[in-house]
């Protein structure tokens, strides 16, 4: 789990979380201020509102084909941003030697 705090005016550049480091499935709990998140898969782009205490999950195509980001601005849809905290849950990929060791130990 990673904890990030964002103040009004901060953004996140549109990205796909590192596919070589993390397995499929990312879940984020948004606390504090509501925020608009951009979802981009060219040529398509969508904006979704993450309300306070909401959860967003990315799996499969949403995880690997769509970028997500938050524009650096101080308000969304006419509502001023406050401080926001994001709790993001991702599962780390094990390096190949560790995978082999675990497989051998489970036999």
Dig out the tokens for 26 from the structure. 């990312």
**Architecture of the CATH domain 2-105:** Sandwich (2.60)
Give kind and range of the element (H or E) at residue 64: helix 60-64
Asked if 30 contacts 55 with a C-beta cutoff of 8 angstroms, the reply is yes
Which positions ≥6 away from 5 have C-beta within 8 Å?
Answer: 83, 84, 85, 86
pTM: 0.81
Give the integer Cα–Cα distance in Å for 50 and 47. Answer: 10
Each domain of the chain, given as residue ranges in start order, spans 2-105
- In a structure prediction context, what are the per-residue pLDDT tens digits for the chain, which is 107 residues long? 999 999 999 999 999 999 888 989 999 999 999 999 999 999 999 999 999 999 999 999 999 999 999 999 999 999 999 999 999 999 988 777 776 777 777 77
């Amino acid at each position: 789990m990673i904890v990030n705090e964002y103040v009004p005016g901060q953004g996140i550049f549109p990205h796909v979380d590192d596919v070589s480091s993390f397995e499929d499935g990312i879940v984020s709990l948004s606390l504090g201020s509501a925020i608009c998140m951009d979802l981009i898969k060219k040529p398509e782009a969508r904006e979704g509102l993450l309300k306070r205490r909401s959860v967003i999950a990315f799996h499969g195509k949403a995880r690997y084909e769509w970028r997500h980001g938050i524009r650096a601005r101080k308000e969304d849809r006419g509502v001023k941003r406050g401080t926001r905290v994001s709790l993001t849950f991702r599962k780390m990929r094990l390096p190949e030697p560790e995978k082999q060791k675990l497989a051998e130990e489970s036999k």
